[in-house]
Homo-oligomer: A and B are copies of this chain.
Amino acid sequence: MHHSITLRDIARALNLSVSTVSRALTDSYQIGHQTKQRVLAYAKAHQYVPNRLARGLKEGKSRAIGVVVCSIDNNFVAQMLDGIDQYCNSAGYHLIIMQSKESFVQENECIHLLHAGGADGLLISPSYQTTDFSYLQQLQQTGFPVVLFDRLSEGIHTHMVAADHFKGAYQATRHLLENGFRRIAHFNSNTKLSMASKRFEGYQQALQEAGIQVKEDWIKFIDTSHVAHLNSHLEAAIKEIMNLDEPPDAIFTATDQLSTQCLMKLREMAIAVPHTLGLIGFSNTDMASAFYPSLSTVHQPAFQIGELAAKKLIQLIKNKNADVFETVLLDTHLQVRESSHR
């Protein structure tokens, strides 16, 4: 076998009982100073680490946290996972990461697997498809702690951590307006999650305040769940808005993928940015400045979102009496580059 030593091994070696060793390692008052020292020294020398499974079984806790995201292979998600991992690790929790791939069915499978598999709690950023949170809610009501991050929804009542989508969208749109763009199109995901509607609302608010009537033709809700199809959907959307009688003079894109893909598509279609079409979008890529033209972005504090969500969840796990759920919205940061001003 390939396992490290157990309490029994230490007990045998030092001629103590298993319980004494266990207590010595948790610094119990019931154990004498000398004994503690001996146990600690031996444990350290032999690299004793408590068996997670045994401890988990005994305590009814696994010290593992389930994380469900749309995809690991996503710049923004990876940054959030980094934050989650950092916090959980320092708190002694393992991370079990699963991918929904934007599928509601697969997401529910992940949730079930994580719950049944003994995770102590769940961090979830729902799939674009998800509208029904009943399963999650059901688990939550049996005492299973759940925290939503990044993508929020009214469909469930719990702690939530995300960027301030409304404000970010509002700022981006205002920025375009301040730079003389008037006919601003909006590309968004076709999801029912509130992140999309919040961003849409921020866009609308900025236009309304500027006395500009929001035109329905300017707004495209694009299916972004399948990367393979995104390209053609995007091309169609761009063609549609450019063929309008009065085509837009700028686009505000609401997601990471849409922003970068849109810039690439415009280049491919030989539509000059920002001359013919200004562009600003939500995106966290550090390569935005390498693009042509460099891409103005709304940057979300991804790492902090992850960190804070993890913190909230672990609080919840340790302290189940939480009846007051909080929604934390972190400020986005506007990074103005070439694509959004002439």
Contact = CB atoms under 8 A, between A and B. Distances in A.
Interface of A: 1-4, 47, 49, 51-54, 56-57, 60, 62, 64, 71-75, 78-79, 81-82, 85, 89, 94-99, 112-113, 115-118, 139, 142-144, 260, 263-264, 267, 285, 287, 289-294
A313 B56 CA distance: 25
A53 B47 contact: no
B144 A112 contact: no
A62 B72 contact: no
A99 to B, nearest CB: 6
Contacts of A79: 73
Contact of A290 (B47, B74, B260): B260
A81 B99 CA distance: 11
Contact of A53 (B97, B118, B260, B290): B118
A254 to B, nearest CB: 18
A264 B292 contact: no
Given A73-B81, A79-B73, A85-B98, A52 B4 contact: no
Contact of A97 (B1, B51, B97): B97
A259 to B, nearest CB: 10
